[in-house]
Amino acid sequence: MQTEIVANLLLVDDDAENLASLQLALESDGHRVSIAGDTSRAMEMLMREPIELVVTDYEMPGMDGAEFCRQVRAQRAHRDLPIVMLSAGPEPVCVLQC
């Protein structure tokens, strides 16, 4: 029996264990999951693949999740792309505008 793909997702995190566990959970629910270990790779993948949702870590070296979100939103093709930010850290004091 073939499983129907629910959505094409992109996971972005510098922690390989986080990526693997999220990927496993989402693929078991029928999603097609692409992974990127940093935001530069994620931006490249967004240009090539039909991504329907991005799940990104908030705290990463280099460009963090908030800046990544702003850069994605600056692209006309991805202006309305849903983005979920995750973090193991405490909730930010201010509300992010991205």
Instruction: Give a yes or no: residue 79 inside a domain.
Output: yes
Nearest residue to 56 via CA among 83, 89, 26, 20:
83
Instruction: Give a yes or no: residue 50 inside a domain.
Output: yes
Instruction: Give a yes or no: residue 97 inside a domain.
Output: no
Instruction: Give a yes or no: residue 40 inside a domain.
Output: yes
Q: How many domains does the chain have?
A: 1
List, for residues 57-74, the tens digit of each pLDDT value: 998 888 888 899 999 999
Give pLDDT tens digits along the chain (98 positions). Answer: 456 778 999 999 999 999 999 999 999 999 999 999 999 999 999 999 999 999 999 988 888 888 999 999 999 999 999 999 988 776 666 555 55
Instruction: Give a yes or no: residue 93 inside a domain.
Output: no
CA–CA gap between residue 71 and residue 3 (Å, rounded) = 34
Instruction: Give a yes or no: residue 68 inside a domain.
Output: yes
Range of the domain at 22: 8-86
Q: What is the pTM of this model?
A: 0.84
